[in-house]
A and B are shown apart, each in its own frame.
Chain A
Amino acid sequence: MSIAPETAARVAKLARIKVEPEALPALAAEFNTILGFIEQLNEVDVDGVEPMTSVTPMRLKRREDVVTDGDRQGQILKNAPDAREGFFAVPKVVE
Chain B
Amino acid sequence: MMGELTKLTLAEARDKLRAREVSSLELTEACLSAIEGAGALNAFVHHTPEIARDQARAADARLAAGDAPAMCGLPIGVKDLFCTKGVPSQAASRILQGFLPEYESTVTSQLFDAGAVMLGKLNMDEFAMGSSNETSCYGNVVNPWRRGNDDTALTPGGSSGGSAAAVAADLCLAATGTDTGGSIRQPAAFTGIVGIKPTYGRCSRWGIVAFASSLDQAGPMTKTVRDSAIMLGAMCGHDPKDSTSADLAVPDFEAMLTGDIRGKVIGIPKEYRMDGMPAEIEKLWADGTAMLKAAGAEIREISLPHTKYALPAYYVIAPAEASSNLARYDGVRYGHRAKLAQGDGITEMYEKTRAEGFGHEVQRRVMVGTYVLSAGFYDAYYNRARRVRALIKRDFDQVFAAGIDAILTPATPSAAFGLGEMKDADPVQMYLNDVFTVTVNLAGLPGIAVPTGVDGQGLPLGLQLIGRPWEEGDLLNTAYALEQAAGFVAKPGKWW
Q: Which residues of A contact B (CB under 8 A)?
A: 3, 8, 11-12, 14-19, 27, 30-31, 33-35, 37-44, 46, 49-56, 58, 60-61, 63, 72, 75-76, 78-82, 88, 90-93
Contact = CB atoms under 8 A, between A and B. Distances in A.
B364 interface: yes
Binding site secondary structure of chain A: loop
Contacts of B374: 11, 14
A37 B312 contact: yes
B448 to A, nearest CB: 18
B260 interface: no
- Going nearest first, the 8 A-B pairs with the smallest beta carbon separation are A55-B444, A51-B386, A79-B334, A81-B337, A46-B387, A18-B351, A18-B355, A16-B350
Interface string B327-366: 1001111111100100011111111101100100001101
Given A16-B330, A44-B306, A44-B309, A56 B346 contact: no
B335 A91 contact: no
A52 B313 CA distance: 12
Nearest to A46: B387
Nearest to B201: A56
Interface string B217-248: 00000000000000000000000100110110
B370 A50 contact: no
Interface in B354-412: 354-355, 358, 363-364, 366-368, 370-372, 374, 381, 383-391, 393
A80 B334 contact: yes
9 contacts: A14-B370, A15-B363, A17-B354, A44-B384, A46-B384, A46-B388, A50-B387, A55-B393, A91-B346
Contacts of B428: 33-34, 37
Given A46-B391, A50-B390, A81-B336, A91 B344 contact: yes
B347 A80 contact: no
Interface of B: 98-100, 102, 199-201, 214, 240, 243-244, 246-247, 306, 308-309, 311-313, 315-316, 323, 327, 330-337, 340, 344-352, 354-355, 358, 363-364, 366-368, 370-372, 374, 381, 383-391, 393, 426-428, 431, 442-444, 469
A30 B444 CA distance: 29
Contacts of A88: 332-333
Given A11-B371, A17-B366, A75 B309 contact: no
B78 to A, nearest CB: 19
A38 B388 contact: no
Contact of B383 (A19, A51, A79, A82): A51
A34 B247 contact: no
A55 to B, nearest CB: 3
Contacts of B246: 56, 58
Nearest to B369: A15
Nearest to A78: B102
Contacts of B337: 81-82
Contact of A11 (B340, B354, B367, B386): B367
Nearest to B98: A79
B99 A27 contact: no
Contacts of B335: 79, 81
Given A54-B244, A91-B344, 16 more contacts: A3-B371, A17-B351, A17-B367, A18-B352, A30-B427, A35-B368, A38-B312, A41-B385, A49-B387, A49-B390, A56-B200, A76-B333, A78-B100, A79-B99, A90-B332, A91-B349
Contact of A80 (B333, B372, B391): B333
Given A18-B355, A58-B246, A91-B345, A11 B387 contact: no
A93 B346 contact: yes
Contacts of B327: 16
Nearest to B214: A55
B390 A33 contact: no
Nearest to B368: A34
A82 to B, nearest CB: 7
